[in-house]
Amino acid sequence: MIQSSIMLTNDKLIRTALKRNLEIDHKNDLHTKIIEELGLTHGAARVDIAVVNGILHGYELKSDLDTLMRLPEQMRIYNSVLDRITLVVGKSHLHSAIQLIPEWWGIVIAKMTDSNGEIIFLNIREPEENPHKDSLSIAKLLWREEALAILEEINQAKGVRSKPRQMIYERLALVLDQNTLRNRVREYLFSRVNWRSEKLHKLSDD
């Protein structure tokens, strides 16, 4: 029996419903920020929704109308940066997705209800701590001036102030232990106001 396209999930429906649920879950938490399309490693990939609080939790959405073709490359980048990752997937992709993603990724099915066409979420597997984080990739979540400001604070900016951003990130990843680096990165992600300037930062950094 051919599944009616009316009952297939799409990115917009899943994104809207998931963001609403996350906002409800964290409505009383002043130390949580929800960010859509968070760029990782300078835009090499963008995780659909990121929740920033005590950890950096990324949610990647794959609706019934999407494909999984880009997922392996996205996984490589996500695994280097995010503390936890949950794949939110249309039920048509569930079995294929399970074969692709690591066991520590969380899995949630996004399903269209028959009654009113709303999205419901079925939790299949809770995410676990990412064992593969890379300090240099984490540092690249920062804008150049943010990374340099941290180095200035700890008197480690000498010799890199006028250097390309890659050298600044390398210095930061070298002089800070990963837990401290993760904490500082989350502080900057949480406090940023003008996210629209991200593209300008990329163009002007080097």
- Domain ranges (residues) in the chain: 5-125, 135-205
- The reported pLDDT for the residue numbered 4 is 45
Provide the β-strand partners of residue 57. Answer: 51, 84
- The reported pLDDT for the residue numbered 1 is 35
Of 148, 154, 161, 205, nearest in space to 180 by CA: 154
Topology (CATH) of 5-125 = Trna Endonuclease; Chain: A, domain 1 (3.40.1350)
The C-alpha atoms of residue 142 and residue 187 are separated, in whole angstroms, by 10
- The reported pLDDT for the residue numbered 2 is 41
Q: Are 72 and 97 in contact (CB under 8 A)?
A: no
- The reported pLDDT for the residue numbered 116 is 73
pLDDT in tens, 65-74: 999 999 999 9
Of 130, 132, 131, 87, nearest in space to 110 by CA: 87
Q: Are 88 and 31 in contact (CB under 8 A)?
A: no
Q: What does each C-alpha distance from 136 to 68, 124, 143, 160, 175 come to in angstroms?
A: 27, 32, 13, 16, 11
Q: How confident is the model at residue 200 (pLDDT cuts 50, 70, 90)?
A: very low
Give the pLDDT mean for 189-194: 84
Is the overall model pTM greater than 0.85, yes or no? yes
